[in-house]
Structure 1
Amino acid sequence: MSVVTLTQESHKNPDPFRVKYEDANLVLGPKPKIPINDELPVIETSSKVAIIGAGFGGMTVAHSCLTKLNIDDFVMFDKHDNFGGTWYVNTYPGCACDIPALWYSFSFELNNNWSRIQPPQFEMEEYILKVAEKYNLQKYAKFKTAVTRLEYNDEAANWTMYIRDLTNGQLIKHTAEIVTSCQGSLVNPIHYNAKGLEDFQGVYMHSAVYNHDVSLEGKNIAVIGNGCSANQLVPNILSNYKPKSVTQIFKSKHYIMPPVPRALQWLYRFLSFSFLGLTLVRLLTIAIAEARFPLYKGNGIFSNIVRRINTRSSRNYIQKQAPKKYHDLLTPDFKIGCKRMIYDYQYVPSLHDERVTITDDAVDHITKDSIVFKNGKEKKVDIIIACTGYDVNKSYQNYEIIGRKEKDVGKIWANDGGSAYQTVLLRDAPNLFFIAGPNSATGHSSVVMAIENGCTYFEKLIKPVLAGKYKSVCVKTEKYKQWYVDTQNELHNSVFGTAFGGCVSWYGDGHVNSSTYPYSQIRFWWEMTHPRYKDIDYEPLDNK
């Protein structure tokens, strides 16, 4: 446990802390491509543990291997050329942490000089690289590699991973006894697909594949969407890039909350002198956030009180800070929490800028230089920036998983819905662990905390296998199925994109919610630190 101090060099020169546009566009653009060249010889490698992803999840597993499990025989695979995951890739203007970073960071490496409570992307990446350097993780990383398939060998009790080198398409066959999938959910951008977009002669880009070489000065810009990315992008463009106009187009509304209180930043500064002080501020932040959890569940008295307080807070903020003409456009009529709440930084006040227009008019089609709405209105645009989010379910199925007895996990998910027991374990997939897997997200908490809890669960379950007492570990199939049924039933009674919540959101498709955790983070911590071993199968070394 230690304290990190940043040099803040990323503020002076953010470029080294951002993915190159060409690299991001290759694997995340409108036409992503994994190169294949089978004329090159197959490379065969192996390790005790394989880690898919080198963002917060992969780095936390690496830390667990080095400090908790005493393993240095592991390899990290990532499609990009550096650590950071979504914090390396998402570089649009204004991109920043949407919750307090003192909570959205490693609990074992707390930073004592965040420039603000919700620091910008490049500062988050600087922090990530600082931690990676401290633990010498570069030594274990294989960058610019994409995993395409996992196959389990029942007899050997190990996994064969099929991986492509993105620089030349060469196939790598990697064998690992244990695999952890840590790629997260913000992986596959949902690109805007309006009719006629292919004829647009201006510049189109998704916020997740942002091209900083494109000048915005003097341009008419259309921003599609109004989630967290758009909330951060719009005010930053207006303040720093001198556009001629910004037109924000969206279909639905979000609850926009007041900014995080400045008192938290003052308290953070006051207690940043030690790891203990930073931990106290972190715990206070967690406690305040967890107190909001009841608004997500049911119609009980306490739930309704918490829901009413937070709804009123959002509406009062909009009425006080937004132009009156936009009050209706910015005020949802569904239950708060049905979509992820947005903690504002500068967005709502920026709507007073005469250059910005927001509208929920439906788009009919796009011409070579304009957007045409269904009501007949037309808006000339030079640049379209899509803040249209991610395909969360696809993110968990970026590669094939063939488990024991040749069970295709992808087909199981396609038929039954994406799921993982306790968010971590798949049926028929021994020694495979998902970190920040299906149903691990929340509407009020930090995914980094969920990642660390998942790693605690991984550590506890895998130790008997590493000690040589058992061949493999896997969830019992009937317990996997029961977890899925119980989780979905519980989520149907929550606000997460349900009929009860009154909205449609990325949390689920109306039938299956593979995104959110149905209970409190206190319960999640308890479940991860106290595994139900009766739900788990350990395969004996000798099956005879």
Structure 2
Amino acid sequence: MSVITLTKDSHINPQPYRIKFKDANAVLGAKSKIPINDDLPILETESKVAIIGGGFAGIATAITCLTKLNEDDIAIFEKHDNFGGTWYANTYPGCASDIPALWYSFSFALNSNWSRIQPPQYEMEEYILEVVKQYQLRKYVHFKRSVTKLQYNEKAANWTIYMRDLTNGQLIKHTAKIVASCQGGLVNPHHFQAEGLENFEGEYMHSAIWNHDISLEGKNIAVIGNGCSANQVIPSLLKSYNPKSITQIARSKHYIMPPLPYIIQFLYQLLSFSYVGLYLIRTIVSVFNEARYPLTKYGYYSSILRFLLRNQSLYYMRITAPQKYHDMLIPNYKIGCKRIIFDYEYLPCLHDERMTLTNEPISHITKDSIVFKNNTELKVDVIVACTGYDFRRSFHTYELIGRNNVNIGDLWKKEGASAYKTVLVRDCPNFFFIGGPNASPGHSSVVTSIESSCIYFEKLASQILSYRYDSICIKTDKYNQWAKSAQEELQKAVFGTEFGGCSSWYNEDKFNSATYPYSQVHFWYVMSHPVYDDMELQKRF
């Protein structure tokens, strides 16, 4: 356990803490392609543990291997050129943690000097890199490697990972006893699509692939979307980029809560003198937020909690936003059906004379304008798409072939992406998801669920690395039982369901691969107590 103190160099010089636009676009852009050069020799490598992804989940898994399993024969594969995952790739103006960072950080590496309750992207990245430095993880990482296929070898009881070097297209074949897939869900941008967009002669960019070289001063900007990223980017553009105008095109409605109370930051600063103090305030915030969990379910207490939170949100929205926009902003579904947004400066900025909000559907795009379905035309110089992420695609970025040549991707296309207790996949021995299907909390910090998943990983991986078992795999019937019970429970929740009253990326095609069906206390307990009877434990011969 340690306390980290940031230098805040990222505030003075943010460039090293964010990906270059060229690199982000090459990997995440609408036309991105993995380079292939089979003229180069195949590079063959190996390790006991292979970790796919260098964000929060990959870092936590690597640290678990080093500190809990005493295993340093590990290899981390990351498609970008630095650690950080989404906190390295997402650099749009105003990008920040949407929950308190003292909670959205590792419990074993607490930071003593967050600049605010929800610090900016570059400060989050600086924290991540400081953790990487403290645990000396750079010696284990291979950057700019894009995994294309994983195949299980039943005879050798190991995995072959096929990947491409993004700098030259070279094929790499890596063999590992254990694979931990640590790719986040909010990675691949959901690119805006509209008739005629290809003819637009102005600047277009997705918020997840921001080009900081584009000047926005004096420009007419259209921002499409009104989720968390739009709520963060618009105030920042108005405050720091001096646009001529911003027109926000809202496609749905969200519950917006008042800014997080300053008392949290005050108590944090008061208790930041030691790890014990930091852990105490983190625990207080965690307990308070965990108490909100019932709002997602049926029940008397749940309905009371939703009533109180909904009224708090509606009161804030009505007194803060211009009255002319109330009908465009205020939802009529149950609170929690979409992720709740804590306001920073968005609603007040709607009073800015340069700002216009509309919910008119788009018909098509011309070379210099957006044409709406009511035949009105909006002249724009820049289009910013805050249209979110393709969550489902995150489970299909590589081919996953398990034992008996079972193609898991094909299975998921038919049944929906799932993993037993969010970690184990049928017919995939020694394969672990960290932050996998249904691991995201709808009310809590994903870093908390990542740490809980690492407890489970530690307990099972230790059985393999100690040579007690050659392989561990979830029984197919137990995998199916979990998938069925999880979906049945989630259909009783508000996350994008008929009960919740909204459509959401949580619940696409009526199958929810995103959120955990129970509380985070339940998740921690399940991760801490593996049921070995549910698994096939292959002993060494």
Q: TM-score range by the shorter chain?
A: over 0.9
- Structural mapping, 1:141-540, within 5 Å: 141-298=141-298, 300-540=299-539
**Secondary structure class of the residue paired with 1:95:** coil
Q: Distance in 1 between matches of 2:75 and 2:131?
A: 17
Asked whether 1:130 is paired with 2:125, we answer: no
Shift of 1:339: 0.4
RMSD (CA atoms): 0.6
Q: Distance in 2 between matches of 1:73 and 1:61?
A: 13
**Secondary structure class of the residue paired with 2:172:** strand
**Secondary structure class of the residue paired with 1:471:** strand
Q: Distance in 2 between matches of 1:251 and 1:105?
A: 32
Q: Distance in 1 between matches of 2:403 and 2:204?
A: 44
Shift of 1:326: 1.1
Q: Distance in 2 between matches of 1:258 and 1:534?
A: 47
Q: Distance in 1 between matches of 2:348 and 2:417?
A: 40
1:103 aligns to what? 103
- Note the alpha carbon deviations across 1:469-524, whole angstroms, 9 max, x for none: 11101111000000000000001110000011000011011421100111011100
Q: Distance in 1 between matches of 2:464 and 2:50?
A: 15
Shift of 1:87: 0.1
**Aligned residues with identical type, % of pairs:** 62
Q: Distance in 2 between matches of 1:535 and 1:103?
A: 33
Q: Distance in 1 between matches of 2:393 and 2:338?
A: 19
**Secondary structure class of the residue paired with 2:87:** helix
TM-score, length of structure 1 as denominator length: 0.99
Q: Distance in 2 between matches of 1:214 and 1:398?
A: 30
Shift of 1:376: 1.0
In the alignment, is the contact (CA less than 8 A) between 2:360 and 2:373 conserved in 1? Answer: yes
* One-letter identity of the residue aligned with 1:497: G
**Secondary structure class of the residue paired with 1:148:** strand
When the two structures are aligned, how many residues end up with a matched partner?
541
Q: Distance in 1 between matches of 2:5 and 2:419?
A: 37
**Secondary structure class of the residue paired with 2:414:** helix
Q: Distance in 1 between matches of 2:32 and 2:339?
A: 28
In the alignment, is the contact (CA less than 8 A) between 2:202 and 2:368 conserved in 1? Answer: yes
TM-score, length of structure 2 as denominator length: 0.99
In the alignment, is the contact (CA less than 8 A) between 2:474 and 2:536 conserved in 1? Answer: yes
Runs of 4 or more consecutive aligned structure 1 residues displaced over 2 Å after TM superposition = none
In the alignment, is the contact (CA less than 8 A) between 2:441 and 2:449 conserved in 1? Answer: no
**Secondary structure class of the residue paired with 1:70:** coil
In the alignment, is the contact (CA less than 8 A) between 1:35 and 1:168 conserved in 2? Answer: yes
**Secondary structure class of the residue paired with 2:26:** helix
**Secondary structure class of the residue paired with 1:340:** coil
**Secondary structure class of the residue paired with 1:46:** strand
Q: Distance in 1 between matches of 2:395 and 2:257?
A: 30
Q: Distance in 1 between matches of 2:417 and 2:65?
A: 27
Q: Distance in 2 between matches of 1:476 and 1:282?
A: 37
Shift of 1:443: 1.8
In the alignment, is the contact (CA less than 8 A) between 1:504 and 1:510 conserved in 2? Answer: no
In the alignment, is the contact (CA less than 8 A) between 1:235 and 1:347 conserved in 2? Answer: yes
Q: Distance in 2 between matches of 1:81 and 1:186?
A: 18
Shift of 1:532: 1.5
**Secondary structure class of the residue paired with 2:486:** helix
**Secondary structure class of the residue paired with 1:128:** helix
* One-letter identity of the residue aligned with 2:494: V
Q: Distance in 1 between matches of 2:76 and 2:523?
A: 26
Structure 1's unaligned 5+ residue stretches are none
Q: Distance in 1 between matches of 2:311 and 2:36?
A: 54
Asked whether 1:67 is paired with 2:67, we answer: yes
